[in-house]
Amino acid sequence: ILRFSYLYFTAVTGKGNENELDKEDKGDIFDINAEFADTDLIDGDVIPPTSRNTLVDEGRHWPSTRIPVVMGSNLGLEAIAVILEARQEYEMRTCLTFPDRTDEKDYIEYQSLSGCYSSVGMVGGPQTISIGPGCEKMAVAEHETMHAIGIYHEQSRTDRDHYVRIALENVDEGKEHNFNSYPYSVVDDRRVRYDYDSVMHYGDTSFSSNGQPTIVTLDPAFQDVIGQRRTFSEGDVTKINRMYKCGDTLRYSYNCNYEDETVCGYVQDFTDSGDWVRHIVGASPSVPVTGVLPTTDGSSYMLLDTSAATSSMYSMKYKSTVAQQCLEVSYYMDLQTGSTASLELAIATIDPVNGDVLSVGSPVTTLSGDHEGLWMTERVTISAPSEYKLAIIGNGRNKPHNIAGDVIAIDDVSVLDKPCEMTYFVVNDYSQILATSARGDYFYSPLMYTDDGYGFQVKIYPVGSSNSKDGYMAMYYYVAQGVNDDSLQWPMYNRYIKFSIVDQGPDALTRMTQANSILSSSSGGSWDKPTSLYTHHAHCQCQTRNSGYGFSSFMSVSDIQNTRHFLKHDQLMV
């Protein structure tokens, strides 16, 4: 993870637009489908049923939570990528899985047709989900797949008129049939309250003739909430799991904030010299620590006895159903000059019968050095076996130093049953950046590398460029000169590149990260080997870059500042 401090990147801040190209934004599902006037779709993206079966009728539920799928040959790389991501999210949050079809009679075929649409429920035989051009977003694939398993739009609920008003005066003439609501004999809300945050809710200008809202929330607080396309809401997950009787998720996740006195089952190594103890902010610590203790956004964290040489703690037995997991840990290291104290996370191999730790592997990450009284977050993809324990090892007073005053703490440790993103970078003091930036101001990330060695940078306009919608931040990907350039293939085509502003909420599983993606191809951006063409920037630190490709309106600044946990410890994570 690359980190930025505000002072560091003021040196690379610039003004005005550089050479960058926006990915064409075809809008949300209904905007894309509206281009195809001759469709028979109802509700914007629903293939109407041939007979009026109801979903309350179990006949249109899939009989199993394993639903076979085929990837149509006309799907592009980006569509395939988002469908696979959507499958992964279903496995993370529900017990539904979508294996490749062998010879099953009933199955889903994803195809790239004219727009984004699906039938509702199982039709019998092959049935199509279209992820057409412009529909290549994970949340759209989740949405269309939710139709296919039997769920209508949130604004089609029987009781929707109590929560939203359909402003027919603003609806495009002839499009009124896209705002159907259905009786309880057709839809069942599964006892979930009206969910403004559902990925199945349309946005407020769907099918608008004049740009004015077509869906008006009766409580204005939800006007900007409806239409989110990040991922499942908690209500979506509850609804799916009640419908398909999921007792547990397919992929396993663990999350510990150390708020609970049982500390999620973490146990001390009884054989070493020191302990980790749960520390409640404001209480006096029960281990000898002399430095200033940090506060946190929760009320407690684990504090290391830095007077001891080594203190280990182990998780309970963890399980995984996949090959790679994303380990995330928040840590605080305020060390005295010259201290060699450090923190290691490792995978412990266990006896499958009694769970005893047989061996502790080499660290998957080692954290050392002074971090100046800041909480930091480390994320690393690990390859844990199907059963293991996580070892968190504090090395307090390393020989030959004997330094008092070191403070080491950890918080918010999570393991998600999927790999981490490839790279993260963190921008500190983000409120200050927002407060001092004007439209057109930008900064670049440090040079980062893809797994196969291509150098790149990300450019951010914190309050937007001249091309941005009002109130939106802009973000672009730049191929940049790297150390491997001579041995790589050029142009760098056919790469699926996903940008995210990470929701850093305490429960890693229920986060709603804002993401969007681009595909490197001849039709957007420049993917040739970066030469000296664009070196003439005063603040480029002599880094050679191509022109950028991305989004002039990536995310609303107000969403970053005011919703969920896009800012944590005043850090933005990209």
Of 128 and 198, the one with the shorter C-beta distance to other proteins is 198
Report in angstroms how near the CB of residue 321 gets to other proteins at its nearest. Answer: 11
Rounded to the nearest whole angstrom, what is the least distance from the CB of residue 318 to other proteins in the complex?
8
Which residues are at the interface with other proteins (CB under 8 A)?
95, 158-159, 162-163, 183-185, 189-191, 193-196, 218-219, 221-222, 238, 241-242, 244-248, 252, 254, 261-262, 264-265, 267, 314, 316-317, 319, 352-355, 387
Please spell the DSSP secondary structure of 394-446, one letter per residue.
EE-S-TT------EEEEEEEEEESSPPPS--EEESSHHHHHHH--TT-BEEPP
What's the min distance (Å) between Cβ of 308 and other proteins? 18
385 token code pair: 């076996």
Q: Is the peptide bond before 400 cis (omega within 30 degrees of 0)?
A: yes
> Are 443 and 540 in contact, with CB atoms under 8 Å apart?
no
Compare residues 218 and 438 and give the one whose CB is closer to other proteins: 218
The β-bridge relationship of strands 300-304 and 407-416 is antiparallel
The amino acid sitting at 262 is T
Catalytic residue among 144, 154, 328, 378: 144
As a whole number of angstroms, the distance between CA 403 and CA 1 comes to 28
* Cβ–Cβ < 8 Å for 52, 42: no
β-bridge partners, 407: 334
Closest separation between CB of residue 142 and other proteins, Å?
19
Long-range contacts at 281-284 (CB < 8 A, ≥ 24 apart): none
State the minimum distance, in angstroms, from the CB of residue 511 to other proteins. Answer: 17
Distances (CA, A) of 219 to 91, 308, 434, 454: 34, 56, 29, 48
Q: Is 338 buried (19+), middle (13-18) or exposed (0-12) by CB count in 10 A? A: exposed
Is residue 536 annotated as involved in ligand binding? no
Looking at beta carbons only, is 91 or 441 nearer to other proteins?
91
Q: Where is 136: in which H helix or E strand?
A: none
3-state secondary structure of 230: coil
Complex with other proteins: residue 320 or 553, whichever CB lies closer: 320
Which CB atom, from 241 or from 330, has the smaller least distance to other proteins? Answer: 241
CA 511 vs. chain centroid, Å, equals: 7
In whole angstroms, how far apart are CA 559 and each of 14, 105, 437, 567?
A: 24, 45, 17, 10
Nearest approach in angstroms of CB 185 to other proteins is: 6
How many helices and strands, by DSSP H and E, does the chain display? 7, 32
Give the DSSP per-residue string, 189-220. -TTPPP-TT-TTSPPTTTTBSSSS-SEEESSG
Closest distance to other proteins from the beta carbon of 265 (Å)? 3
Residue number with CB closer to other proteins (265 or 453)? 265
Pair of tokens at residue 110? 């994803």
Q: Which helix (H) or strand (E) holds 392?
A: strand 387-395
Q: What angle do CA 18, 463, 492 make, to 5 degrees?
A: 45
Q: Which is nearer to other proteins, 219 or 452 (CB)?
A: 219
In the complex, minimum distance from the CB of residue 392 to other proteins, in angstroms, rounded to a whole number: 14
DSSP 80: H
Kindly tell me which of 194 and 207 has the beta carbon lying closer to other proteins.
Answer: 194
Residue number with CB closer to other proteins (252 or 449): 252
To the question of whether residue 177 is assigned a binding role by annotation, the answer is no
Least CB distance to other proteins at residue 391 (A): 13
**Is 24 a residue of the active site?**
no
Q: Is 143 annotated as a binding residue?
A: yes
| CA atoms within a 13 Å half-sphere pointing along the CA-CB vector of 37 | 3
Tell me the C-alpha distance between 224 and 226, whole Å: 6
For residue 254, the cross-strand partners are 415
> Both ends of the chain: CA-CA distance in Å?
10
Q: Report the 3 state secondary structure along 287-342.
A: CCCCCCCCCCCCCEEEEECCCCCEEEEECCCEECCCCCEEEEEEEEEECCCCCCCE
Known binding residues are: 143, 147, 153
Name the residues annotated as catalytic.
144
Binding-site residue ranges for Zn(2+): 143, 147, 153
